[in-house]
Chain A
Amino acid sequence: MHVIDKQSQLRDISQPFTVVSIRKYYTSFVNHLAPIMTSGVEFLSDSRPLQEYFNVYCVYTSVFSSGNLAPNDNSILSNLNSSICSSINHLDDSNMPIDAAHNSYLVLNQEPSIIFSPNSLLPLWSIILKNAMVDQTMRYKVWNYSISETFTMYALYDKATSMEYVLDSDLVSNREGIVKELEEEIWNDCKLFERVYEIQMREGLGLGFSSISISENRICNETLQNSTFMEEYHQAILRIDLYLNLMLNYSNLVNTTGSLTQMLPSSTFYFMDNLIATFNPTFLVEAIRNVLQNGGFNTYLSYSKPSSNYDMEYFSMLQKSDLKPVSQLMIHPNCFCYYNLIDLFIMILMMGSVIPIIVGSVEDGTPYFIVRKVFTVVFFVMFYAIIGGTVTIAHWINKFRRLKSKYRNAQVTTLESFLEDQQFREMFRTYSKNEFSLENIIMYEELEKLKKNNKVTPQELKSLQEKFLLSSSVHEVNYPSAVKKNFQELLDSYKDEDVSSNDSDSTTQTKSSNSLKQSTGLPKKGTVMLEKMLELVMPELLKNMFDTFSRLKTTPEFGHWFEMKQIQTTELGEEQHQEQPKDEKV
């Protein structure tokens, strides 16, 4: 994205400079922030005490140590070895990416006196040094203290200004592109986690990422024998932790639907060695939020240890702060959609009711006053109905009806109502895990989430299919082929409609009333699709879970829980007599 230009001013560089991607800055940046923010996590399982890193002030490479330096430089190096540097860290292509990240952190904060680097590694260095902090003052500081002093001293560059900064204005103008790239980066991390998780599942090594230790896994799987891969994986999970950590800091942004409208203020982060750095998390937070909303972290969240800060419960608490349900309670988003005939009728009535109000205001006598007041009230009631009252009332009536009809399908409801109990759910999950049928409860929870949203987008439908219905899915659920086929048809029809509605949208854009209908019609379709989809996948899924449940029922653990549950419900029943019959049915 940003090319380090003015190549001509760099001496001794025969090969062209690499194109520098802005996201590399985030990667390296996040790489060295991750172990700091999630304290207690060992970075790359490296057991060396941190202190050792801080002693590394000098970094040099084989190219320079093997006599490729000019005689003059060589003598400087030998001087440095003894006098300035307390220790020297060797760096070459093979250990570059990770060590560089480590060292750049040190470089940035400890301001090393000297860096030697072969030309081939210069671009990497410069990116890390230049962009490791987005905060401008920090960058200038880094630049001034590190690069200008070190590089110019040995004349690797003609002058310090031969490399360009990534300016803050560049960042703002290219916001969308950066966020998109970052999202991709975050997705990659989540995918990497899922990939290892899948291997874990296959090899039967347990489900959580936390159980992974490199040495143990190397025995089993070729992929895990690849140490680079494992390092990448460990970096990825550290980064995922950081993403979620950041998200918690900015949890008020998790559920807002629009993009962040303003830049967040730069924040200060305390590093483990008490050094302080500031950076601006806007893009990163925006990207994380987008990924979070699209379910990128779901696998991670559902498998992190219960003791971890980022489990589902914690996450759902974030959702509770969402204001959307409250607004739905007042005005249904689908107003003017379902009941426009009724609304039209009420509108005419409203116009009619204006006449008595006007007539009533002609004189101040008591009968006039009463007529005026009565019709004013009627007018306002109708006004509420028109701005969404009818839809809202209908919505609640429907919901109540559905609630009642739910109790009719007894077998399924037993399990479903049991699952509303957190303790039972945990027990069910553990049992499923032991019987290797966890995919069903995972899918069930995913559907629950969609139900809460009360609508489904084509993307969500697609990701549902990818996760649970394809033979390539990690969590393939045992479905008959008819269901899988129908799901594909449902998806196709949804997509087609989407495309056609978009087309018509663009052609009729001039008619404002039409486009209004289009935009309000969309959530309605999402709701219809959700119901269709649930009708399709839910019965079979519950049947699958019922098979697991039929065995869980015979365990003493279930008996114990059930006893407790019954005691609780009878206690509750004494307090609330009305609730009792319902509970018995359950």
Chain B
Amino acid sequence: MGNIVVSPHDKEGQHHMMATPTSNNPNGGSAATAKNKSEITVLLLGAGESGKSTLFKQVQFFHGVGITHDQERIELIEIVRLNVLENAKNLVAATQHLNIPIEQPENRETAKLIINSLNTNDLEDPSWSKRLYSLWKDAGIQKAYENREKFQLYDSTEYLFENLDRICSDKYVPTVVDVIRTRTKTIGITDMKFDVGDGKQLRLVDVGGQRNERRKWIHFFNTVDAVVFLTSLSEFDLNLYEDNGYWRVKESLRVFNEVVNNALFYKVPFVLLFNKRDLFEKKIATKSFSKYFSGFNEAEEKNPVACIEYMTKLFLNEITEHPLDTVSVKTLSAIDHDNSKQVFEEVKQFIMTQQHRE
């Protein structure tokens, strides 16, 4: 029966069967040789859960491709619901782990079902909306949630539980915000092309951030025109997903060091984005920032500007090779549509002017 020919295609806003960077340049040409082409390749890098895919999705959205269309988002129902289930599972598991009992007996029943048999199809039933919400509001679960730095939990948890009444319905179609809020662990490397005017195309490359995924980055280092490095501000109290016991900030600094000082990027404009500013501001209101950074003045710890300044210094200190005038630092809240649009516009301008100067 009909053979499927797997071939590359360049339709805008579509995922490519061929993501191989070497297709243009079999011998791995440097960025300099690619200067004249009308395509600008921008790499989104950063450790796990720093918001690369979130920004990627935002860019899709304000270019009117991908998740902008209802049809594409319908495909993502499963993922949103899976997020709900995973969050619920993680919370219930945490109550056991942290020895915090779930208080209401009917919630304990719900918890049992979640751990053992619940699957995403069951969530079509609206009755689950109530049960899950009641579980979420249980004092035990809330206590576990307050201690969420002790286990792995997605940032989307609160949002998803507050929107259960929509999600648990057979007519549910994810909104753009739902999709952007959903945590999806990116596997491998994926790219998308956008028209950015002047007959130029922007090729945005999104990658996975966990350690094993980072090994694959190198495949794209040769063909890059700009690097956007994301790091999460709110990770200062968290440990790694792939290695529980390793501080996320330490990992981010290490990855940043490796990337920014890479010889292939000397001449490439480099943007450092401090993401999750919104979460960060909420977090430092209740948690001690200076507890994690010995060099930080304790009196200033409730002042987000001072904290971010400190973090900036920390990261910029890592730069030993890359020329500082081609590095730009910005803060971002990637789940905020307007903010990410504005920041991305600035990033784009920065990259364009840097290229022009060459």
- The 8 Å CB contact of A430, one of B6, B15, B186, B215, is B6
The answer to the question of A52 belonging to the interface, with a C-beta cut-off of 8 Å to chain B, is no
The answer to the question of B22 belonging to the interface, with a C-beta cut-off of 8 Å to chain A, is yes
- The 8 Å CB contact of A548, one of B78, B82, B119, B188, is B188
Pairwise interchain contact A561-B218, C-beta atoms closer than 8 A: no
Pairwise interchain contact A437-B188, C-beta atoms closer than 8 A: yes
- Which of A426, A471, A481, A564 has its CB near the most chain B CB atoms (within 10 A)? A481
Stretch at the interface among B237-245, B258-266, B293-301: B237-245
Q: What string of 1s and 0s marks CB contacts (under 8 Å) between A429-462 and chain B?
A: 0111011110110000000000000000000000
- Which of B9, B17, B184, B188 has its CB near the most chain A CB atoms (within 10 A)? B188
Pairwise interchain contact B244-A481, C-beta atoms closer than 8 A: yes
Main secondary structure of the interface of B (DSSP, over half): loop
State the CA gap A202–B14 with chains docked (Å). 27
Pairwise interchain contact B4-A478, C-beta atoms closer than 8 A: no
The answer to the question of B283 belonging to the interface, with a C-beta cut-off of 8 Å to chain A, is no
Residue ranges of B at the interface with A (Cβ–Cβ < 8 Å): 1-7, 9, 14-22, 28, 66, 72, 75-76, 78-79, 82, 119-121, 152, 184-190, 208, 210-213, 215-216, 218-219, 240-245
Stretch at the interface among A137-145, A359-367, A404-412: A404-412
Query: Which residues on A sit within 8 Å (CB–CB) of B185?
Result: 478, 543-544, 547
- Which of B17, B213, B241 has its CB near the most chain A CB atoms (within 10 A)? B17
Query: Which residues on A sit within 8 Å (CB–CB) of B20?
Result: 204, 434
Stretch at the interface among A80-88, A114-122, A279-287, A551-559: A551-559
Closest to A558 in B: B4
Pairwise interchain contact B72-A411, C-beta atoms closer than 8 A: no
Query: Which residues on A sit within 8 Å (CB–CB) of B6?
Result: 427, 430-431, 557
Pairwise interchain contact A550-B75, C-beta atoms closer than 8 A: yes
Pairwise interchain contact B184-A478, C-beta atoms closer than 8 A: no
The answer to the question of A16 belonging to the interface, with a C-beta cut-off of 8 Å to chain B, is no
The answer to the question of A348 belonging to the interface, with a C-beta cut-off of 8 Å to chain B, is no
State the CA gap A545–B187 with chains docked (Å). 8
The answer to the question of A338 belonging to the interface, with a C-beta cut-off of 8 Å to chain B, is no
Pairwise interchain contact B1-A568, C-beta atoms closer than 8 A: yes
- The 8 Å CB contact of B4, one of A434, A553, A560, is A560
Pairwise interchain contact A477-B4, C-beta atoms closer than 8 A: no
Pairwise interchain contact A408-B212, C-beta atoms closer than 8 A: no
Query: Which residues on A sit within 8 Å (CB–CB) of B7?
Result: 557
Asked whether A434 and B186 contact (CB < 8 A) given A409-B119, A481-B240, the answer is no
The answer to the question of A89 belonging to the interface, with a C-beta cut-off of 8 Å to chain B, is no
Query: Which residues on A sit within 8 Å (CB–CB) of B75?
Result: 550, 553-554
Can you list 19 A-B contacts with CB-CB less than 8 angstroms, sorted by A residue number? A202-B215, A202-B218, A204-B218, A204-B219, A408-B121, A409-B119, A411-B78, A427-B4, A430-B17, A437-B187, A440-B187, A476-B212, A478-B185, A478-B213, A547-B185, A550-B79, A557-B17, A561-B4, A564-B2
Pairwise interchain contact B212-A471, C-beta atoms closer than 8 A: yes
Query: Which residues on A sit within 8 Å (CB–CB) of B189?
Result: 435-437
* Count of chain A residues with a beta carbon within 8 Å of a chain B beta carbon: 46
Pairwise interchain contact A547-B119, C-beta atoms closer than 8 A: no
A126 to chain B, nearest CB (A): 47
State the CA gap A423–B3 with chains docked (Å). 8
The answer to the question of A400 belonging to the interface, with a C-beta cut-off of 8 Å to chain B, is no
State the CA gap A546–B28 with chains docked (Å). 31
State the CA gap A535–B18 with chains docked (Å). 33
Query: Which residues on B sit within 8 Å (CB–CB) of A550?
Result: 75-76, 79, 184
- The 8 Å CB contact of A555, one of B14, B242, B243, is B14
Closest to B221 in A: A204
Asked whether A435 and B190 contact (CB < 8 A) given A408-B119, A427-B6, A557-B17, the answer is yes
Pairwise interchain contact A554-B208, C-beta atoms closer than 8 A: no
The answer to the question of A229 belonging to the interface, with a C-beta cut-off of 8 Å to chain B, is no
Asked whether A481 and B2 contact (CB < 8 A) given A202-B215, A408-B121, A434-B20, the answer is no
5 more contacts with CB within 8 A, not counting A430-B6, A437-B216, are A202-B215, A204-B20, A409-B119, A481-B242, A543-B185
The answer to the question of A479 belonging to the interface, with a C-beta cut-off of 8 Å to chain B, is yes
Pairwise interchain contact A471-B18, C-beta atoms closer than 8 A: no
Main secondary structure of the interface of A (DSSP, over half): helix
- Which of A410, A440, A550, A561 has its CB near the most chain B CB atoms (within 10 A)? A550
Query: Which residues on A sit within 8 Å (CB–CB) of B152?
Result: 480, 482
Asked whether A432 and B188 contact (CB < 8 A) given A471-B211, A476-B212, the answer is yes
Closest to B213 in A: A478
- The 8 Å CB contact of B120, one of A410, A426, A484, is A410
CB < 8 Å A-B pair total: 125
Query: Which residues on B sit within 8 Å (CB–CB) of A408?
Result: 119, 121
Pairwise interchain contact A204-B213, C-beta atoms closer than 8 A: no
Pairwise interchain contact B119-A544, C-beta atoms closer than 8 A: no
- The 8 Å CB contact of A436, one of B72, B121, B184, B188, is B188
- The 8 Å CB contact of A478, one of B76, B78, B79, B208, is B208
State the CA gap A356–B240 with chains docked (Å). 72
Query: Which residues on B sit within 8 Å (CB–CB) of A484?
Result: 242
A212 to chain B, nearest CB (A): 15
Q: What string of 1s and 0s marks CB contacts (under 8 Å) between A551-578 and chain B?
A: 1111111001100100010000000000
- Which of B15, B184, B211 has its CB near the most chain A CB atoms (within 10 A)? B15
Query: Which residues on B sit within 8 Å (CB–CB) of A544?
Result: 185, 187
Closest to A473 in B: B212
Closest to A564 in B: B2
Please name the 6 residue pairs, one residue from A and one from B, whose CB atoms are nearest each other, closest first: A437-B188, A435-B188, A476-B212, A436-B216, A481-B244, A204-B219
Pairwise interchain contact A411-B120, C-beta atoms closer than 8 A: yes
Closest to B117 in A: A408
B76 to chain A, nearest CB (A): 7
Q: What string of 1s and 0s marks CB contacts (under 8 Å) between A521-557 and chain B?
A: 0000000000000000000000111111011111111
Pairwise interchain contact B119-A543, C-beta atoms closer than 8 A: no
State the CA gap A545–B78 with chains docked (Å). 14
Query: Which residues on A sit within 8 Å (CB–CB) of B3?
Result: 423
Closest to A481 in B: B244
Query: Which residues on A sit within 8 Å (CB–CB) of B186?
Result: 547
State the CA gap A247–B155 with chains docked (Å). 53
Asked whether A478 and B120 contact (CB < 8 A) given A471-B211, A550-B75, A554-B72, the answer is no
Query: Which residues on B sit within 8 Å (CB–CB) of A435?
Result: 19, 187-190
Closest to A437 in B: B188
Pairwise interchain contact B22-A204, C-beta atoms closer than 8 A: yes
State the CA gap A409–B123 with chains docked (Å). 12
Query: Which residues on A sit within 8 Å (CB–CB) of B17?
Result: 430-431, 434, 555, 557
Query: Which residues on B sit within 8 Å (CB–CB) of A411?
Result: 78, 82, 119-121
B26 to chain A, nearest CB (A): 9
Query: Which residues on B sit within 8 Å (CB–CB) of A546?
Result: 78-79
Pairwise interchain contact A547-B187, C-beta atoms closer than 8 A: yes
State the CA gap A479–B242 with chains docked (Å). 6
Query: Which residues on B sit within 8 Å (CB–CB) of A426?
Result: 4
List A476-498 residues whose CB lies under 8 Å from chain B: 476-482, 484-485
State the CA gap A423–B2 with chains docked (Å). 10
State the CA gap A287–B18 with chains docked (Å). 40
Pairwise interchain contact A482-B244, C-beta atoms closer than 8 A: yes
Query: Which residues on A sit within 8 Å (CB–CB) of B243?
Result: 481
Query: Which residues on B sit within 8 Å (CB–CB) of A478?
Result: 185, 187, 208, 210, 212-213, 242
Query: Which residues on B sit within 8 Å (CB–CB) of A477?
Result: 212
State the CA gap A423–B18 with chains docked (Å). 18
Query: Which residues on A sit within 8 Å (CB–CB) of B121?
Result: 408-411
Asked whether A557 and B4 contact (CB < 8 A) given A410-B119, A411-B82, A436-B219, the answer is yes
B1 to chain A, nearest CB (A): 6
List A18-62 residues whose CB lies under 8 Å from chain B: none
State the CA gap A423–B215 with chains docked (Å). 29
State the CA gap A426–B6 with chains docked (Å). 10
Query: Which residues on A sit within 8 Å (CB–CB) of B79?
Result: 546, 550
Query: Which residues on A sit within 8 Å (CB–CB) of B14?
Result: 554-555
Closest to B79 in A: A550
